[in-house]
Amino acid sequence: MLASDLCPLLSEEGYEVVALSRTQLDITDASMVRDVVERVQPWCVVNCAAYTRVDDAEDEKDLAFSVNAAGAGNLAMTAGRVGARLVHVSTDFVFDGEKNVPYKEDDAPNPLNTYGMSKLQGERLVRDGTDDHIIIRSSWLYGPGGENFVRRIISKAGESEELSVVYDQVGSPTYTADLAAAVLHLMEEAPAGVYNFSNEGVASWYDLAYMAVEAARAKGVSLKLQRLKPILTEEYPTPAKRPRYSVLDKERYRDTTGTAIAHWVDALSRYVDSMWQGRRTGGGG
């Protein structure tokens, strides 16, 4: 999803973008990473690759760590070798959710699940692999080019009269178009280090679902949904435990870049608009 927004943006800004698929660059293959990066000789490497199936990671630990940890480390070491800056995208799930105020970059991580553990290990390998790194922690991503919560909810709302959504997990939804702009700002302007970025505001999964349905209806999308039911996490058990509160403090990002951050409701509206551009009816985007 992120690459779908980032590559066109970088091209518009005048960068020569070398966008590689998994077959062209498997980041878990250290020799392949070395060969490709040394051939391209980039100014900056942006890692948009990740294993993000949070629940599946509990059964696929080796694969999650191979991509999210070892793969990130391979990129970092090779970027450092050729003198390229590395931008690496991480997650709010490195935190345990026990705070009641937004997490700062220097707060102690304590992931609750395999996905979060693998991403935290990736951060550590990035730091060890190259001094010139930008680690961006983000949260609750949605956007084009991939399956995501917003698209899934709208699709289900077109098929079902009632949906249940968890309301006691709280974070900040993030539109990948806005994260892509943040990557550009940090890539160009920021000193090496860790930065939080998400859209402004706080939401539960229920809030995000409710606003996604309302935004789709405002576009004229025909939906069957009659009732959106808020439920507790314990009513919807999942293999992976999730933090109950993972809002990110973005003061460092704002101070460094001098840019404002859009509220998640505005960002969601823009995304839903993009899903139905030129269409007035339909059930799933």
The H or E element containing residue 196 is: strand 193-196
The single-letter code of the amino acid at 14 is: G
* Closest-CA residue to 137 (of 97, 183, 78): 183
Q: What is the CA radius of gyration of the chain?
A: 19
Tell me, yes or no, if 245 is annotated catalytic.
Answer: no
156 half-sphere exposure, CB direction, 13 A CA radius: 16
Task: State the residue for tokens 């698929």.
Answer: 21
* Closest-CA residue to 118 (of 149, 148, 93, 146): 93
Catalytic residue selected from 115, 142, 175, 271: 115
Alpha-carbon gap, residue 209 to 45, rounded angstroms: 34
* Closest-CA residue to 75 (of 39, 117, 32): 32
Is residue 142 within 8 A of residue 199, CB to CB? The reply is no
Task: State the residue for tokens 């391979």.
Answer: 74
Q: Please classify residue 22 by burial: count the beta carbons closer than 10 Å to its beta carbon, then call 0-12 exposed, 13-18 middle and 19+ buried.
A: exposed
Q: Return the active site residues.
A: 115
